[in-house]
């Protein structure tokens, strides 16, 4: 039986591609188009092992990239918020089948090439060092947006560690994540 890839529109046999079904749609995509598809969310695990992990990055995080076609059963899934006909953004959601009770610790976004992005980088480095030192599992998740200058940034931890890290995180947020600085960067680009 032949299937038409919805991206390249070429015909393929069933074993040359992937039949997918997700919350929004279902169809067939060839192996080449699936491998070249951009990710919706990129999960970077620290101190946690997920069977679906694709590779390890230079910082020692185990990385998993999720798009609308790959069939992974990780701890998280990608959701999409449509703002209008041509704008929207992806964001992470904890799966009902997750092995840990993940809670969102930080929800932010990276404003490319801004002073705010530099502050977020310092904030992130301090968070990573802290979690490495304490051995606490962490999921750092980046999400795509229709705004090419903005990338979602979320940190999740197991709920059992929330009380332990709350004071540290609040202190860092006060120092590096002010609403005033973010608003200035968002409106002026600096």
Does the global pTM surpass 0.75?
Answer: yes
pLDDT in tens, 114-147: 888 899 999 999 999 999 999 999 999 999 998 8
**All structural domains of the chain with their residue ranges:** 1-37, 38-188
What is the rounded average pLDDT of the residues 20-45?
74
Residues sharing a CB contact under 8 Å with residue 153, sequence separation 6 or more, in sequence order: 106, 107, 108, 109, 110, 120, 124, 140, 141, 142, 143
pLDDT in tens, 9-23: 788 887 787 676 655
What is the rounded average pLDDT of the residues 158-178?
91
Predicted confidence band at 188 (pLDDT cuts at 50, 70, 90)? low
pLDDT in tens, 68-89: 666 667 888 888 888 988 888 8
């Amino acid at each position: 039986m032949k299937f038409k890839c919805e991206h390249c529109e070429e015909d393929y046999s069933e074993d040359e591609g992937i039949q997918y079904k997700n919350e929004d749609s279902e169809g067939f995509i060839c192996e080449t188009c699936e491998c070249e598809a951009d990710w919706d969310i990129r999960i970077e695990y620290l101190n946690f092992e997920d069977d679906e992990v694709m590779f390890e990055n230079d910082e020692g995080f185990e990385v998993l990239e999720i798009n609308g076609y790959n069939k992974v059963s990780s701890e998280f899934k990608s959701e999409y918020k449509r703002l209008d006909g041509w704008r929207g953004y992806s964001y992470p959601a904890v799966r009902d089948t997750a092995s840990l009770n993940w809670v969102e610790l930080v929800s932010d976004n990276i404003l490319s090439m801004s002073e705010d992005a530099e502050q977020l980088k310092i904030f992130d480095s301090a968070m990573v060092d802290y979690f490495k030192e304490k051995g606490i599992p962490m999921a750092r998740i980046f999400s795509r947006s229709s705004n090419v200058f903005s990338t979602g940034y979320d940190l999740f931890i197991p709920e059992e560690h929330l009380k332990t890290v709350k004071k540290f995180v609040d202190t860092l947020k006060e120092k590096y994540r002010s609403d005033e600085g973010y608003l200035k960067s968002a409106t002026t680009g600096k």
